[in-house]
């Protein structure tokens, strides 16, 4: 088999140990290799760096094992070309598996160029990922606490969530704060309503009538305090993310536009904050969602040869399972989970917008394929739009809610005319006058 690299290494990474195998091709076209086990402390990993440098290793392959690969990658990324591979792509024959043989197998595959590298973004983008992913975790924790508040209210006969949309809204939270402080008069609590909620004072008075024990007031106070703390955490994280986006280097103008639609010889540099504003023009995508998406995919779309490649990497492409001339399940492949959750949330929001192509596409697909499949398709459409927007550096351009009707206007008119004729109507079509 053809040898593509002369000096490589394979690393089998675990929590406490790293089994390394360095391999090189000699002048006599023979392959030499050595194996050694290292710890995962920083000093041990620096020793691994020096051990690989002794043979002037250039390419290093390691498996993406949980988060254990990250400390190794942090030490080696500046001195070597580190290839992170999916463990499922390099599985060995069962019954012949050891840590040393795994490291040797990785090195041998790397020697012949048979490994497919995973996408590892630059360090500033990885830092942005950590911030956005942790903010998502805090937001989910806040949602869990709110659900516990509603559960506590149900156990006290307080039916506030049956009247108000958001129990953490301004009016509802003021009522809950007074309730936790010891207030017992439902009428006085209902009078705390503001805005349009004033129209439901009578309903609020009935909903706030319950039996609240002292221990339940204490629990409610603790929950409200926890939510306030999480709100502060979310705000602090959002500010840090905004600051980090401003400090990150912009993407220079692309000389080779992947879409072939560049309108100027030298495109203006695209900053991360400008990219957030671009993505914010998509229906269903807000600033927070745009930050999550950019933290996962970055600005440089040249790393994804096409929009379909980006959709496949994110897990929004159908699987391909065929055997014996039969096609089996085509469910979507596993992809990037944070961007998948963000796109699903954006798709649900886009399906409820007014007079947009995304809403029309959702209802068109949901009628035939069901709501969940329609949401996945809508998320893919949003991701494809993002690829083109970042490649061309243009805001979102909506096709319009009547796009599908206008695309085959004559066919649709003929179909509807035949339907009315079958129902016993004589149809005469007169076009409306064009507005001046």
Instruction: Reply yes or no on whether the pLDDT at 126 is more than 80.
Output: yes
Q: How far is CA 99 from CA 65, 301, 417, in A?
A: 13, 37, 71
What is the pLDDT, as a whole number, of residue 93? Answer: 59
Q: Token pair of 367, please?
A: 């009628």
H or E segment and range at residue 36: strand 31-39
CA proximity to 207, closest of 240, 252, 158: 158
SS3 content of the chain, % helix, strand, coil (to 5): 55, 10, 35
pLDDT > 90: percent of the chain? 66
Question: Quick one: pLDDT at residue 430?
Answer: 84
| Cα–Cα distance measured from residue 391 to residue 259, given in angstroms and rounded to the nearest whole number | 7
* Residue recorded with tokens 């149809």: 427
Which tokens is 113 given? 């160029």
Cα separation of 401 and 398, whole Å?
A: 8
Tell me the two tokens of residue 270: 């695209």
Helix (H, G, I), strand (E, B) or coil at 310: helix
pLDDT at 231 over 50: yes
With a cut of 70, say whether residue 193 has pLDDT above it: yes
Q: Distance (Å, rounded) from C-alpha 39 to C-alpha 289?
A: 39
Give me the helix-helix angle, 371-392 and 337-350, nearest 10°.
100
Model pLDDT, residue 153: 94
* Angle (CA) 430 432 436, round 5°: 150
pTM of the model: 0.85
For the beta carbon of residue 33, count every other beta carbon within 10 angstroms.
17
Question: Does position 321 have pLDDT exceeding 80, yes or no?
Answer: no
How far apart are the C-alpha atoms of 272 and 250, rounded to whole Å?
Answer: 6
With bands split at pLDDT 50, 70 and 90, how would you rate the model's confidence at 433?
Answer: confident
Contact 89, 105 (CB under 8 A): no
Res 67: pLDDT: 87
Q: What is the DSSP pairing of strand 31-39 with strand 17-25?
A: antiparallel
Residues of the chain with CATH 1.10.287: 125-246
- Residue 94: the pLDDT is 62
CATH 3.40.50.2000 fits 7-111, yes or no: no
For the cut 50, the answer to whether the pLDDT of residue 265 exceeds it is no
Give the integer Cα–Cα distance in Å for 91 and 126.
28
Q: Tell me what the mean pLDDT of segment 54-63 comes to.
A: 91
Q: Summarize the confidence of residues 146-150 as an average pLDDT.
A: 95
Residue 168 contacts by C-beta under 8 Å, 6 or more apart in sequence? 146, 149, 227
Confidence label for 263 from pLDDT (cuts 50, 70 and 90): very low
Q: Which of 20-24, 201-205, 333-337, 359-363 has the lowest mean pLDDT?
A: 333-337
What is the pLDDT at residue 410? 87
**Taking residues 317-330, what's their average pLDDT?**
76
Mean pLDDT of the chain: 89
Comparing C-alpha atoms, which of 141, 233, 228, 140 is closest to residue 180?
Answer: 228
Percentage above 70 pLDDT, the chain: 95
Lowest mean pLDDT among 52-66, 154-168, 362-376, 422-436: 422-436
Specify whether the CB–CB gap between 106 and 12 falls below 8 A: yes
The whole-angstrom separation of Cα 91 and Cα 381 is: 34
pLDDT (tens digit, 9 = 90+) per residue, 370-393?
A: 999 999 999 999 999 999 999 999
Lowest mean pLDDT: which of 7-11, 203-207, 427-431? 427-431
User: What tens digit of pLDDT does each residue of 283-296 get?
Assistant: 999 999 999 999 99
What residue spans in the chain does CATH classification 3.30.420.10 cover?
Answer: 7-111
CATH topology of domain 125-246: Helix Hairpins (1.10.287)
Mean pLDDT, range 210-230, rounded to an integer: 95
For residue 257, what pLDDT is reported? 53
Other Cβ atoms closer than 10 A to 164: 19
CA separation for the pair 398, 350 (Å, rounded)? 12
């Amino acid at each position: 088999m053809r040898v593509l690299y002369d000096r490589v290494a394979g690393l089998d990474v675990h929590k406490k140990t790293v089994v390394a195998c360095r391999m090189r091709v000699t002048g006599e076209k023979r392959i030499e290799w050595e194996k050694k086990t290292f710890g995962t402390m920083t000093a041990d990993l620096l020793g691994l760096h020096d051990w690989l440098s002794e043979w002037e290793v250039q390419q290093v392959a390691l498996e993406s094992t949980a988060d254990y690969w990250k400390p190794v990658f942090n030490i080696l990324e500046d001195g070597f070309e580190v290839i992170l591979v999916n463990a499922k792509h390099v599985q060995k024959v069962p019954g012949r598996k050891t840590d040393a043989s795994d490291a040797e197998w990785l090195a041998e595959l790397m020697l012949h160029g048979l490994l497919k590298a995973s996408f590892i973004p630059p360090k500033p983008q990885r830092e942005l990922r950590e911030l956005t992913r942790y903010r998502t975790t805090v937001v989910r924790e806040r949602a869990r606490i709110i659900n516990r508040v509603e559960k506590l209210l149900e156990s006290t006969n307080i039916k506030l969530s049956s009247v108000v949309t958001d129990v953490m809204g301004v009016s509802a939270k003021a009522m809950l704060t007074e309730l936790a402080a010891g207030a017992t008069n439902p009428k006085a609590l209902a009078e705390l309503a503001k805005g349009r909620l004033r129209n439901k004072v009578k309903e609020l008075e009935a909903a706030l009538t319950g039996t609240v024990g002292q221990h339940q007031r204490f629990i409610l106070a603790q929950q409200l305090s926890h939510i306030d703390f999480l709100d502060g955490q979310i705000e602090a994280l959002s500010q840090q993310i905004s600051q980090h986006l401003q400090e990150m280097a912009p993407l220079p103008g692309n000389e080779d536009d992947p879409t072939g639609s560049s309108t100027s010889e030298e495109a203006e540099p695209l900053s991360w904050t400008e990219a957030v504003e671009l993505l914010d023009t998509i229906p269903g995508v807000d600033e927070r969602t745009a930050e999550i998406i950019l933290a996962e995919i970055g600005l440089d779309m040249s790393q994804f040869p096409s929009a379909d490649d980006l959709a496949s990497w994110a897990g929004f492409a159908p699987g391909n399972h065929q055997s014996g001339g039969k096609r089996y399940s085509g469910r979507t492949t596993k992809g990037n989970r944070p961007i998948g959750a963000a796109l699903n949330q954006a798709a649900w929001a886009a399906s409820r917008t007014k007079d947009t192509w995304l809403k029309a596409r959702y209802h068109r697909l949901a009628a035939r394929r069901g709501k969940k499949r329609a949401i996945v398709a809508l998320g893919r459409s949003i991701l494809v739009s993002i690829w083109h927007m970042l490649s061309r550096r243009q805001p979102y351009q909506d096709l319009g809610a009547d796009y599908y009707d206008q695309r085959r206007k004559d066919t649709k008119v003929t179909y509807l005319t035949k339907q009315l004729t079958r129902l016993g109507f004589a149809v005469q079509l007169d076009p409306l006058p064009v507005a001046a």
